[in-house]
Structure 1
């Protein structure tokens, strides 16, 4: 019976996601799966088993997609503008961590929750880390990150549109889909992905099911320069798998949300967007970039949403993707491990204090 219920859950998630996509909602397959799962769990039945490997499969697909965006072209773009990329990325992450302290005081949440809720452009990564951190409030982390995506999609195009003009010359060259360019040589990626995931799991590296595939595909792109993009249908499936996983976790926590938390999330995210705008205005004084290009490059949202906005506005896609790819890799390979290490030390310190008492 639980497998029948699981099938019905998938069916309802697919139908709702398709409807949201038809309505033009951002990331419809992720949000549709999450909403359908919460409704199904709380109003239909809780008697079903959702295998953990479904969610992990979604992470693997997302990791492959992130890795596929890192090409020799984007690497060259980053090399030409590396000082601005590094400085702006560090300042935005620093601003986020500064606002984490403010967010912690507003909500009364733990340090773990505030930090994971505040890091921009890394929804999936921070949610997975929140799953692994016992003192983190998964609901608050997830909703804060999700609300930021919505606010970015609403306000970033509005802000950028005030100065958008004919000097925007970006182009959007989309790589061919994986299934259309697949070769026998790509079997090395299929073999490399589980191997790297296994090694990273042994090393207790954060989010191995996402970072492992990302590194393997990155290496493939750099070595072969034979790039591809993940098929849209695969990305829909990844969002569906991961969205159900998040929805199941949120469904048991949603009653904890109150007006104070909602207001705190809105204030924190708006301050981050306004702070990013201020940083961009400063960088405009020392760089020759267009405001729209630089603002979209710095905007605290996921690369998928920002690139969609950039395409609609005719902005410089290569530049914007370079900034966001660097920030993704910086967060995944440096910030996330550092946060993981600091939280682990914090746990040990609390344990020692508890043992001492």
Structure 2
């Protein structure tokens, strides 16, 4: 009714984000529902993936590396400013501003001593929410939304059920081999390999995609708990400010991709945004951006965080600990 972009995702996100501050009972959502939605979205994105994106990947890898290194430098500068202007320790400030995945950074913070876990969770939750909420509005002038009005027929039920059973089984394999975001990325890879092998998979009807977007939007909306606002006015404002500054920095990087690669602004911004792989790929599908390019950029960023950022953060925390003990 309000003509919001990506309404099936932003509607539940806004409703639960705001509603839980007025409802007395704590709202909960089983993570299995979110995971089921991610499997459906992963299969859908795998079906729209274009293999020709891998042509000239060598040059793209250099550009992706440059983009990620520059955003890490911005994050370090934000961490230093946060450390100087707030009561947070340097370890906490670095962990708050590092552009990593929410779940991975929270697990890292739990394993380290002398890190304010509540502040870390708040900063990364706010970053995810700001990116998912604001990007559709920023790109509203550039979007070319895909209108999906197909229906779910009885004849399609069995093929779809078999498809999702196989996709669900692939998640188990993805967990075993430590694939990041396995409920999303493993189905994507499964469908890409199936397409490469010449195996056709049944089309995902729009109603299932809408339900999946609703589940993911609800999950994100519930990430920001009312108790997080009790961290203190300064920390709360710094969290929002750092998220907006990071969004502005990635918007500048998007112009670089538009100028040198002739990508659309939607494709460029979703490729550089420091959001989650699943959320950015989903927004690319809904807005009409190049899903293949966005997915490749976000997978590279995820691997960059796992293989480079987290080990460097671990080394930085160990150095800070040694310096304080001396």
TM-score calculated relative to the size of structure 2:
0.70
Distance 2:295 2:155 in 1: 23
Q: What CA RMSD, in Å, does the superposition of the two structures yield over aligned residues?
A: 4.1
Aligned equivalent of 1:273, options 251, 260, 270: 251
Counterpart-to-counterpart distance in 2, 1:268 and 1:278: 16
Structure 2 counterpart of 1:142: 125
> Over residues 304-344 of structure 1, what are the superposed CA-to-partner deviations in whole Å (9 max), with x where a residue is unaligned?
445655x5xxxxx6xx3332132133334x33532686289
Secondary structure of the 1:44 match is coil
Distance 1:224 1:181 in 2: 22
Shift of the alpha carbon at 1:30?
3.0
Q: 1:69 aligns with which of 48, 53, 60?
A: 48
Give distance in 2, aligned partners of 1:304 and 1:41: 25
Q: Paired residue for 2:294, among 308, 324, 333?
A: 324
Matches within 5 A, 1:19-98: 22-46=1-25, 50-70=29-49, 74-76=50-52, 78-98=53-73
State how far apart, in whole Å, the 2-side matches of 1:178 and 1:81 are. Answer: 39
- Residue 248 (structure 1) aligned to one of 222, 237, 253: 222
* Pair 131,326 (structure 1): closer, same or farther in 2 beyond 3 Å: same
Q: What do the CA deviations read for 1:126-183 (whole angstroms, capped 9, x no partner)?
A: 234345443572332232233234554444566x79xxxxxxxx9x898x88869848
Q: Is the 8 A contact 2:122 2:224 kept in 1?
A: yes
Q: State the distance in 2 between where 1:222 and 1:69 align.
A: 13
User: Given the alignment of the two structures, is residue 337 of structure 1 paired with residue 313 of structure 2, yes or no?
Assistant: no
Greater CA drift, 181-190 or 54-63: 181-190
Contact 2:159–2:202, Cα closer than 8 Å, also in 1:
no
Aligned mate of 1:198, from 157, 163, 172: 172
* CA distance in structure 2 between the aligned counterparts of 1:193 and 1:340, rounded to whole angstroms: 30
Structure 1 spans left out of the alignment, 5+ residues: 1-21, 118-125, 162-169, 284-288, 312-316
Question: Residue 99 of structure 2 aligns to a residue in which SS?
Answer: helix
Match of 2:207 among 199, 213, 233: 233
Q: Which runs of 5+ in 2 are unaligned?
A: 84-91, 111-116, 274-279
Residues 196 and 213, structure 1, Cα contact 8 Å, conserved in 2: yes
Per-residue CA distance 1:221-242 (angstroms, 9 max, x = gap): 2223525553332223223323
Aligned to 2:237: 259
